[in-house]
Amino acid sequence: MPTDIEIAQAAKITPISEIAASAGLQPQEIEPYGYDKAKIKLDPEVKRPTDLGKLILVTSINPTPAGEGKSTVTVGLADALKLAGKNTMIALREPSLGPVMGLKGGATGGGYAQVVPMADINLHFTGDFHALTSAHDTLSAVIDNSLHQGNPLNIDPRRILWKRVVDINDRALRHVTIGLGGPTSGVPREDGFDITVASELMAILTLSTDLMDLKARINRIVVGYTYDKEPVTVADLGVAGALTVLLKDAIKPNLVQTLAHTPAIIHGGPFANIAQGTNSILATKTALQLADYVVTEAGFGADLGGEKFLDVKVPLLGKTPDAIVIVATIRALKHHGGVALGDLNNENIEALSAGLENLGQHLTAMNRYGVPVVVAINRFTADTAQELAVIKDYVAQFGATAYTTEVWAKGGEGATDLAQAVIEKVAQESDFTPLYQANDAATDKLNAIVQTIYGGKTIVLSGKAQKQLKEFEARGWDKLPIIMAKTQYSLSDDAKKLGAPKDFAIHIREFVPKLGAGFLVALTGNIMTMPGLPKHPAALDIDIDEKGQITGLF
């Protein structure tokens, strides 16, 4: 079997103008980036259909190093729906460069279920993340310049919330001191860098409904506090216009295609463990306007991206999913059941049965939203018939059905059954029930997430977090939706607790108020907003030859 990049580079790519036409977009509605990528213009004069397509949300069990293949199943399912004659589009997030050069690789699917051009999408794509990084760090420079130029806003340098960002895994930038070198080089203070996907601007970009909404949200960002502990906003600094100008193209959704030429919108890239973890409102909405079936993905497990899609994105999108697909692999479930990574190719019914509790918790959680749920088993060659039977029986207890998919090897043809099931499910009436109401208290929202979605017992707030909630109440910020920042590897806040831990508490050490994005981030356990590089970064294996042929990208 060739590698992902080899398959992608050998692909026959249809000119993006033809893909756009097949999706119902006029030539003047797109801006080409090369011949294989385009941005979809946000021309306020373009009138799109008001009847929206069916929305299929793909989520998964808690990820493990064994691999789940959620993006791969998303792409394969869309290609299968297209094979079944349905007018289908995909809405995905853009990959972050940090993990591409680090450990995880890109996020364009795999095997014969990929979006292309794979290398471009995983590298700079159309520059959206770079625009976000520039806008974010321009704001940072403006804040420090304000301190340096006499501090007219009375900003307390010890209480600045707005850190800097780079789209690189760079642990050495987590905690820094800046402004050293004497009076011509700024005011010394503690600072830190996050990865670009953790920027509030990324969250804002993906939640904005148009350019002016983007600007209004940017104006509302709280960058820190004055010495009198009053919030300082971007409106106070006066640079929302400049930041919006920097994001004027980044806000436009990007159009590419799958290997089977299914149109795919890829836009926005918040990580689901530290931000809302789904592609942009504009991307999903545009796809729903253009296609009858839209397959979208939420990052990491159903506890993170899934919950945030349903509780934070859905109210803004104004459209609930018509079906939810939970992706699992037998390998990953066995790992949840205690099998070491080296032994996953051996049949182990006992471990599989234990690990299935992880899938069970996600099934319970997703079932409660009132949307039809199906399970997709992303099949690996070592999976045995008995293992497949065990998982199907288990899933049936939850009133759901598990379908085997082989999209990595076969593309859309490997998901025919899953596509058929999805077509039937989305034709059913669904009765979406939100997890909480906007006016619920923050602690009630937190407990609902922890108990209903994670299967945990309670929340434990640090002293700081308790103090912050009181502050938020006083400021009228306490009714904002909650974004949990939590390890993706466990339902709990301890990455080592695999399977379905019970009776655990979620420890909230701190909240980060994101007034522009319109939510409160709850930092749990020891979650970090800047990853590090591993001992052997992926960058070491990436190369390019004189013909421009790339190797080592995955």
Query: Which tokens is 179 given?
Result: 């402004």
Question: Among residues 169, 233, 284, 348, which is the contact residue for a second copy, using CB under 8 A?
Answer: 169
Is position 353 annotated in a ligand binding site? no
Instruction: Please report whether residue 211 would count as binding a second copy according to CB under 8 A.
Output: yes
Q: Of the two residues 31 and 417, which places its CB atom closer to a second copy in the complex?
A: 31
Instruction: Please report whether residue 34 would count as binding a second copy according to CB under 8 A.
Output: yes
Q: Of the two residues 216 and 388, which places its CB atom closer to a second copy in the complex?
A: 216
Instruction: Please report whether residue 532 would count as binding a second copy according to CB under 8 A.
Output: yes
Q: Could you give the count of Cα atoms lying within 13 Å of 513 in the half-sphere of its Cβ? A: 26
Instruction: Please report whether residue 20 would count as binding a second copy according to CB under 8 A.
Output: no
Query: Which tokens is 50 given?
Result: 């008001």
- Do residues 274 and 398 lie in contact, with contact meaning Cβ atoms separated by under 8 Å? no
Question: Among residues 13, 83, 123, 505, which is the contact residue for a second copy, using CB under 8 A?
Answer: 123
Is position 66 annotated in a ligand binding site? yes
- Do residues 404 and 417 lie in contact, with contact meaning Cβ atoms separated by under 8 Å? yes
Q: Of the two residues 44 and 342, which places its CB atom closer to a second copy in the complex?
A: 44
Contacts of 452 (CB under 8 A, 6+ apart): 365, 368, 435
Instruction: Please report whether residue 535 would count as binding a second copy according to CB under 8 A.
Output: yes
Q: Of the two residues 181 and 476, which places its CB atom closer to a second copy in the complex?
A: 181
Report, in Å, the least distance between residue 106 CB and a second copy: 12
Q: Of the two residues 473 and 541, which places its CB atom closer to a second copy in the complex?
A: 541
Question: Among residues 68, 79, 167, 387, which is the contact residue for a second copy, using CB under 8 A?
Answer: 167
Instruction: Please report whether residue 539 would count as binding a second copy according to CB under 8 A.
Output: yes
Cα–Cα dist 460/447, whole Å = 10
Instruction: Please report whether residue 44 would count as binding a second copy according to CB under 8 A.
Output: yes
Question: Among residues 84, 245, 349, 505, which is the contact residue for a second copy, using CB under 8 A?
Answer: 245
Is position 315 annotated in a ligand binding site? no
Instruction: Please report whether residue 246 would count as binding a second copy according to CB under 8 A.
Output: yes
Instruction: Please report whether residue 381 would count as binding a second copy according to CB under 8 A.
Output: no
Residues tagged active-site: 70, 72, 93, 104, 272, 300, 380, 408
Instruction: Please report whether residue 220 would count as binding a second copy according to CB under 8 A.
Output: no
Draw the binding track, 477-516, toward a second copy (x: CB under 8 A; -: no contact): ----------------------------------------
Report, in Å, the least distance between residue 506 CB and a second copy: 21
* Bridging pattern class, strands 88-92 and 293-297: parallel
Contacts of 121 (CB under 8 A, 6+ apart): 37, 94, 95, 106, 108, 115, 256, 266
Instruction: Enumerate residues 191-210 that contact a second copy by CB under 8 A.
Output: 210
Instruction: Please report whether residue 144 would count as binding a second copy according to CB under 8 A.
Output: yes
CB burial of residue 245 (10 Å; 0-12, 13-18, 19+): middle
Question: Among residues 104, 130, 479, 497, which is the contact residue for a second copy, using CB under 8 A?
Answer: 130
Q: Of the two residues 140 and 447, which places its CB atom closer to a second copy in the complex?
A: 140
Instruction: Compute how many residues bind a second copy; rule: CB under 8 A.
Output: 76
Q: Measure Cα distances from 554 to 118, 120, 221, 454, 537 in Å.
A: 9, 12, 36, 31, 12
Is position 499 annotated in a ligand binding site? no
Q: Of the two residues 215 and 334, which places its CB atom closer to a second copy in the complex?
A: 215
- Do residues 274 and 527 lie in contact, with contact meaning Cβ atoms separated by under 8 Å? yes
Instruction: Please report whether residue 15 would count as binding a second copy according to CB under 8 A.
Output: no
Instruction: Please report whether residue 327 would count as binding a second copy according to CB under 8 A.
Output: no
Is position 69 annotated in a ligand binding site? yes
Question: Among residues 103, 153, 178, 388, which is the contact residue for a second copy, using CB under 8 A?
Answer: 178
Draw the binding track, 95-114, toward a second copy (x: CB under 8 A; -: no contact): --x---x-------------
Question: Among residues 177, 397, 437, 466, which is the contact residue for a second copy, using CB under 8 A?
Answer: 177
Cα–Cα dist 263/116, whole Å = 10
Q: Measure Cα distances from 1 to 6, 13, 238, 372 in Å.
A: 10, 20, 55, 35
Contacts of 358 (CB under 8 A, 6+ apart): 61, 62, 333, 336, 491, 498, 499, 500
Residue 378 CB neighbour total at 10 angstroms: 28
Q: What is the DSSP annotation of 269-336?
A: ---TTTS--B--HHHHHHHHHH-SEEEEEBSSSIIIIIHHIIIIIHHHHT---SEEEEEE-HHHHHHH
Angle at which helices 70-83 and 416-427 pack, to 10 degrees?
A: 80
Is position 387 annotated in a ligand binding site? no
Instruction: Please report whether residue 142 would count as binding a second copy according to CB under 8 A.
Output: yes
- Do residues 344 and 382 lie in contact, with contact meaning Cβ atoms separated by under 8 Å? yes
Instruction: Please report whether residue 138 would count as binding a second copy according to CB under 8 A.
Output: yes
Contacts of 307 (CB under 8 A, 6+ apart): 365, 435, 449, 453, 484
Q: What is the DSSP annotation of 400-466?
A: --EEEE-HHHHGGGGGHHHHHHHHHHHHS------SS-TTS-HHHHHHHIIIIIS---EEEE-HHHH
Whether the link from the prior residue into 188 is cis, omega within 30° of 0, is no
Instruction: Please report whether residue 242 would count as binding a second copy according to CB under 8 A.
Output: yes
Q: Of the two residues 33 and 380, which places its CB atom closer to a second copy in the complex?
A: 33
Question: Among residues 48, 158, 171, 502, which is the contact residue for a second copy, using CB under 8 A?
Answer: 171
Report, in Å, the least distance between residue 7 CB and a second copy: 18
Is position 71 annotated in a ligand binding site? yes
Question: Among residues 74, 244, 273, 378, which is the contact residue for a second copy, using CB under 8 A?
Answer: 244
Cα–Cα dist 104/336, whole Å = 19
Per the annotation, where are the binding residues for ATP?
64-71
Per the annotation, where are the binding residues?
64-71
